[in-house]
Amino acid sequence: MSEIWVPFENAESEFVEKRSRFIGRVFHVESEAEARARIEETKKRHYDARHNCWCYLLRQGNTVRYSDDGEPQGTAGQPMLNVFQRLGVTDVCCVVTRYFGGILLGAGGLTRAYSKGAHDALAAAGICRLSLWTLWTVPCTYPLLERVKLEIAERGGVIRNTEYAADIRLTAAFPEGGAEMFSVRLTELSAGALFMEEAGEELLPGPRREIS
């Protein structure tokens, strides 16, 4: 699987260029409907702005869309899109709102301003890498629960679900290599009485990383 980079969180940034106010927003989205909803949400919030230019890139269907929203063709949506393509970021929607300040920026100035709006918003959001984790069903007794949870965390795993009955069944996700290491500890802790079972795979985000 090739590396998949997405926004770590939704974020906003703002700057002023020759009295025009630019507000950039970045959203992590997973569908075209979600991207469109974010765009409409921003347009309603800034209904009084001269322009709400936008773009989005999705893994789903390799979808790429953008709009200059009344700015000269090629000066807004495409430069914004280029920011994410250059950094290899996907599943992202960006809207840069412009409140016109009365001074024309020219094609070059607009391109730089909208690129900056997208870049600054992404810098505020940060990025993270999606990785394929394996899911496991982990049986556990009540006396061992806290120790098992600690051992899962120490192998880089996360608990996705917990079912309580006569005993406990955890669903845990592990990055590459983590499940194998935890399995050995589970056998040791339970004196060979407990064995975990594979339960599938899931794409999960890693830690936040900054962009330059």
pLDDT tens digits along 63-87 = 999 999 999 999 999 999 999 999 9
Please tell me whether the overall predicted TM-score, pTM, comes out greater than 0.85 for this model. no
How high is the pLDDT of residue 2? 60
Strands 63-67 and 127-140: unpaired
pLDDT tens digits along 28-47 = 999 999 999 999 999 999 99
Question: Between the CA of residue 162 and those of 138, 156, 170, what are the distances in Å?
Answer: 9, 18, 5
Amino acid at 48: D
pLDDT tens digits along 142-179 = 999 999 999 999 998 999 999 999 999 999 999 888 99
Biggest CA pair distance of the chain? 76
Tokens of 92: 């992202």
